[in-house]
């Protein structure tokens, strides 16, 4: 397997690029090298999406609507904490006259926060508790992303739904809603594309496009919540398991988690968030020290470096010894059990040798293993494991007293299963308008 290489035309000086990630413990950056063709963006034509009617709200995302009257970009309120919104309001002297000090700016900031996160407002006009003057100023200088739904797919069982969302710059991401008996989980994205290049993963196959902002991560959750609220429901769980590697967008992901778990706003319990990583060891170490009570899932898929280097190329940078040292640090710091995801691939990682290596790795660790059959993706020609191979693998875990689950293959019918997220090329609202 080729060494992991950065995408073309991304300078090392770009602090936001995932490969420029370095931990506070001083893990190294990769060597400079030439572009990897695997990371070039290639979007196929849409074959399977059901187009939705164009929604009027989509136009709020047109670039012309994203700028301040003086030409500067508008501030995305979802990118701000409550304190930052308060500071912004306080900076508008004319709106915070001494006569109004008993209400502003803390009062107004809390009203805005409430509208954004509890009432999931879609426009400033809905913030009826704010003075008209303030609403106009907010509309002129700030915005918040209400993503346009470009396409929607519903699984035949009606329990899984995938939305293709358009962001303010026209980029597209996918978000999945999974309805279980007692909970409703949102699987959300943290990057557009992914640079890690896991060969079985549709997101990895499309390459890295850009990081999502904390506001864009938050906006996905609120998008799902708006839909659920129409049926009197609330999103109960969030899994960061959509497009992208969350720990390679660390700051934005952390800010989004803190915003969503703020009890003055959306109020999601920290324990209801699960962050799934492919094994960015320094990111796991850093996360361990954040005093967060979130769940951690590791996409392991192989228990020997030789095989994992092929299935999860980032393993070349953070091999299993480094990964398990970071996981041990996480379990010590948080006292939480770690989930290990294992996509079962016929004849590749479902062998007795891999089962033995896995049980050895997990000995003494508070762990749970999720076994999932491989979901098909366009550019990976391996097959899912047989039922017999899965049973044999699970039996080996049983003998080693390692808790495990054979997870339901949710979302496979609409390519919303694990590793299948990848926006299909659809005609965007902007393109339609330009073609008129
Ligand atoms: S499995 Fe995760 S880390 Fe690997 S390419 Fe896909 S999104 Fe990236």
The per-residue pLDDT for range 356-370, each reduced to its tens digit, is 999 999 999 999 999
Instruction: State the pLDDT at residue 413.
Output: 55
Residue where one domain finishes, among candidates 80, 115, 145: 145
pLDDT at residue 77 above 70? yes
Cα-Cα-Cα-Cα torsion 415, 419, 425, 430, nearest 10 degrees, comes to 110
Task: Pick the more confident residue, 409 or 222.
Answer: 222
> Same domain, yes or no, for 271 and 158?
yes
Please state the atom number of ligand 1 nearest to the C-alpha of residue 278: 3
Whether 128 maps to a domain, the answer reads yes
Atom of ligand 1 nearest to the CA of 312: 4
Mean pLDDT, residues 142-167: 90
Does any domain span residue 116?
yes
- Predicted local confidence at residue 158, as pLDDT: 75
pLDDT, tens digit (0-9, with 9 covering 90-100), for 167-193: 999 999 999 999 887 899 999 999 999
Q: Which of 111, 174, 216, 285 is catalytic?
A: 174
Count other C-beta atoms under 10 Å from residue 156's C-beta: 8
Give the pLDDT of residue 73: 82
Range 53-74 average pLDDT: 49
Has 194 been annotated as catalytic? no
Output the ligand 1 site: residues, CB below 6 A. Answer: 194, 196-198, 201, 203-204, 244-245, 278, 299, 419
How far apart CA 148 and CA 166 sit, in angstroms, is 5
201 is catalytic: no
pLDDT at 412 over 50: yes
- CATH number of the domain where residue 152 is located: 3.20.20.70
SS3 call for 291: coil
Residue 172 CB neighbour total at 10 angstroms: 22
Is residue 89 in some structural domain? yes
- Nearest atom within ligand 1 for CA of residue 205: 5
Tell whether 172 is covered by a domain.
yes
Q: From the CA of 416, how far away is ligand 1's center (Å)?
A: 14
Question: Which residue has 């660790």 as its token pair?
Answer: 365
**At 257, is the pLDDT very low, low, confident or very high (cuts 50, 70, 90)?**
very high
Question: Roughly what angle, to the nearest 10 degrees, separates helices 352-362 and 387-399?
Answer: 30
| Distance of alpha carbon 385 from alpha carbon 370, whole angstroms | 14
Q: Are residues 261 and 271 in the same domain?
A: yes
- What tens digit of pLDDT does each residue of 377-391 get? 878 889 999 999 999
pLDDT at 159: 82
CA distance 195 to 202: 12
Q: How far is the CA of 39 from the centre of ligand 1 (A)?
A: 12
Distance CA 431, CA 417 (A): 29
Say what the pLDDT of residue 72 is.
72
- At residue 259, does pLDDT exceed 60? yes
- Ligand 1: residue of 203, 206, 318, 375 to mutate (most ligand atoms within 8 A of CB) is 203
Q: How far is the CA of 420 from the centre of ligand 1 (A)?
A: 10
Domain boundary among 124, 145, 166: 145
Instruction: Give the single-character DSSP code of 183.
Output: -
pLDDT of amino acid 102: 56
Do 121 and 70 fall into the same domain? yes
Token duo for residue 420: 């299948």
- Main-chain phi, psi angles of 161, to 5 degrees: -135, 140
Contact (Cβ atoms closer than 8 angstroms) between residue 239 and residue 271 = no
In-domain check, residue 17: no
Structural domain count of the chain: 2
Query: What are the DSSP calls for 18-44, one per residue?
Result: GGG---TT-PPPPPP-PPPGGGS--PP
Whether residue 239 has pLDDT greater than 80: yes
* Residue that is last in its domain, among 145, 171, 196: 145
Same domain, 141 and 265: no
The whole domain housing 139 covers: 56-145
Q: What would the mean pLDDT of 148-153 be, rounded to a whole number?
A: 90
d(CA 68, CA 218): 22
Average pLDDT, the chain: 81
Q: Above pLDDT 70, what percent of the chain?
A: 75
Q: Is the pLDDT assigned to residue 417 strictly greater than 80?
A: no
Residues 106, 161 within the same domain: no
Look at residue 48 in the predicted model and tell me its pLDDT: 25
Is 189 found in the same domain as 114? no
Residues 174-184 as b/e (b if ≥16 CB within 10 A, e otherwise) read bbbbbbeeeeb
Query: Average pLDDT, stretch 378-406?
Result: 94
Alpha helices in 335-401 (DSSP H): 352-362, 387-399
Q: Are residues 126 and 192 in the same domain?
A: no
Distance 166 CA to ligand 1 centre (A): 21
Task: Report the pLDDT value the prediction gives residue 111, as an integer from 0 to 100.
Answer: 95
Q: Are residues 249 and 274 both part of a single domain? A: yes
Residue 31, in any domain of the structure: no
pLDDT recorded at residue 179? 87
Minimum CA distance residue for ligand 1 atom 4: 198
Rounded distance between C-alpha atoms, residue 402 and residue 398, angstroms: 6
Q: What is the model's pLDDT at position 156? A: 81
Q: Are residues 208 and 258 in the same domain?
A: yes
- Alpha-carbon distance of 295 to 273, in angstroms, equals 6
Please check the confidence at residue 427 and state whether its pLDDT lies above 50. no
Hey, what are 199's tokens? 């060969």
CATH of the domain at 85: 1.10.150.530
Rounded distance between C-alpha atoms, residue 147 and residue 133, angstroms:
26
pLDDT in tens, 270-329: 999 999 999 999 999 999 999 899 999 999 999 999 999 999 999 999 999 999 999 999
Instruction: Give pLDDT tens digits for 23-57.
Output: 333 333 333 333 333 333 222 222 222 222 222 23
- Which pLDDT belongs to residue 204? 87
Q: Is residue 25 part of a domain?
A: no
Same domain flag for 118 and 184: no
For residue 14, tell me if it sits in a domain.
no
C-alpha atoms less than 13 angstroms from C-alpha of 111 in its C-beta half-sphere = 17
From CA 9, how far away is CA 39, in angstroms rounded? 11
More confident residue, 226 or 205: 226
Same domain, 259 and 340: yes
pLDDT reported for residue 358: 98
What does the alpha-carbon distance between residue 402 and residue 355 come to, in Å, rounded to a whole number?
A: 11
262 & 132 share domain: no
């Amino acid at each position: 397997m080729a060494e992991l290489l950065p995408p073309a035309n991304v300078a090392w000086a770009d602090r936001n690029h995932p490969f420029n990630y370095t931990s506070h413990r001083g893990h190294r950056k990769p060597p400079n090298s030439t572009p990897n063709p695997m990371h070039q963006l290639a979007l196929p034509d849409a074959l399977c999406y059901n187009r939705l009617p164009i929604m009027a709200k989509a136009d709020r995302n047109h670039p012309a609507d994203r700028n301040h009257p003086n030409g500067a970009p508008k501030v995305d309120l979802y990118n701000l904490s409550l304190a930052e919104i308060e500071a912004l309001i306080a900076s508008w002297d004319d709106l915070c006259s001494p006569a109004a000090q008993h209400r502003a700016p803390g009062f107004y900031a809390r009203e805005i926060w409430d509208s954004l996160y509890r009432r999931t407002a879609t426009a400033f006009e809905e913030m009826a508790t704010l003075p008209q003057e303030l609403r106009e100023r907010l509309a002129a200088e700030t915005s918040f992303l209400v993503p346009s739904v470009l396409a929607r797919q519903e699984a035949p069982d009606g329990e899984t739904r995938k939305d293709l969302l358009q962001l303010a710059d026209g980029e597209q991401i996918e978000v999945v809603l999974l309805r279980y008996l007692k909970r409703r989980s949102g699987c959300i994205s943290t990057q557009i594309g992914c640079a890690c290049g896991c060969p079985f993963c549709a997101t990895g196959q499309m390459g890295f496009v850009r990081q999502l902002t904390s506001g864009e991560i938050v906006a996905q959750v609120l998008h799902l919540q708006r839909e659920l609220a129409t049926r009197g429901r609330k999103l109960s769980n969030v899994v960061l398991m959509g497009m992208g590697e969350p720990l390679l967008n660390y700051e934005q992901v952390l800010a989004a988690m803190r915003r969503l778990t703020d009890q003055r706003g959306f109020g999601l319990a920290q324990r209801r968030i699960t962050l799934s990583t492919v094994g960015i060891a320094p990111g796991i170490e850093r996360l361990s020290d954040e005093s967060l009570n979130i769940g951690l899932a590791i996409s392991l898929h192989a228990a020997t470096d030789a095989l994992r280097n092929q299935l999860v190329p980032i393993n070349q940078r953070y091999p299993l010894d480094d990964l398990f040292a970071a996981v041990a640090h996480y379990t010590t710091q948080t006292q939480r059990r770690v989930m290990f995801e294992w996509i079962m691939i016929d004849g590749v990682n479902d062998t007795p040798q891999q089962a033995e290596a896995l049980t050895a790795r997990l000995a003494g660790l508070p762990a749970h293993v999720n076994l999932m059959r491989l979901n098909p993706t366009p550019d990976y020609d391996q097959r899912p494991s047989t039922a017999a191979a899965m049973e044999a693998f699970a039996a080996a875990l049983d003998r080693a007293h390692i808790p495990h689950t054979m997870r339901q293959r949710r979302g496979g019918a609409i390519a919303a299963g694990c590793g299948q997220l990848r926006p299909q090329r659809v005609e965007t609202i902007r393109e339609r308008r330009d073609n008129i």
